Amino acid sequence: MAQRGRKPKPTAVKVLEGNPGKRGLNAGEPKPEKKAPRCPAWLEAEEYISEHGAIMETPSGYCQQVPQVSIAQTYLKIMNRFCEQFGLTPSSRSRIVADAGEDKESDAMEILLFKGGGG
């Protein structure tokens, strides 16, 4: 289900703008690794388009879009949705709060359940 409201600004953009809303910044926003991603499978369609063009002429003389264009567009839409769902865009990453390096000892529920720490 889609989330309501405007997409949030990435924390880095808020910092660059001086945090105009003066709201608390997301300190737990994940920071992705800086490495090159694997080559996507839809590049075959892109390669075909760059070699042969995006438009072909039918036997009856009409100009028509090659099927690889719609294939590439479909994969691009799927990839954009995937990136937004899993926090791979800067705006969707700002919605995520990750508590990196937090001790298990600090979890009150775990202390109660596993160590019998009742009051």
Model confidence band, residue 86 (pLDDT cutoffs 50, 70, 90):
confident
- Containing 55, the helix (H) or strand (E) segment is strand 55-57
pLDDT at 2: 66
Domain total of the chain: 1
Question: What residue numbers bound the domain in which 76 lies?
Answer: 39-90
| pLDDT for 119 | 52
Q: Is residue 1 situated within a structural domain?
A: no
Examine the pLDDT at 50 and tell me if it is beyond 60: yes
Q: Is residue 60 in a domain?
A: yes
CA 117 to chain centre: 40
In a domain, 83, yes or no: yes
What b-and-e string marks burial along 75-88, b requiring 16 or more CB atoms within 10 Å of the CB? beeeeeeeebeebe
Sorted by sequence, the CB contacts under 8 Å of residue 112 that are 6+ apart come out as: 118
Give the C-alpha separation, 31 to 88, whole Å: 10
pTM of this prediction? 0.48
51 assigned to some structural domain? yes
Residue 117 lies in a domain: no
Mean pLDDT of the chain: 80
Residue 76 lies in a domain: yes
The model's confidence at residue 24, banded by pLDDT at 50, 70 and 90, is confident
- The rounded percent of the chain whose pLDDT value lies above 70 is 77
Side chain identity, residue 58 = T
Residue 63 in this model has a pLDDT that exceeds 90? yes
| Side-chain half-sphere CA neighbours of 95 within 13 A | 15
Mean pLDDT of 22-41: 76
What value does the mean pLDDT take over residues 86-102? Answer: 76
**What is the pLDDT averaged over residues 65-92?**
88
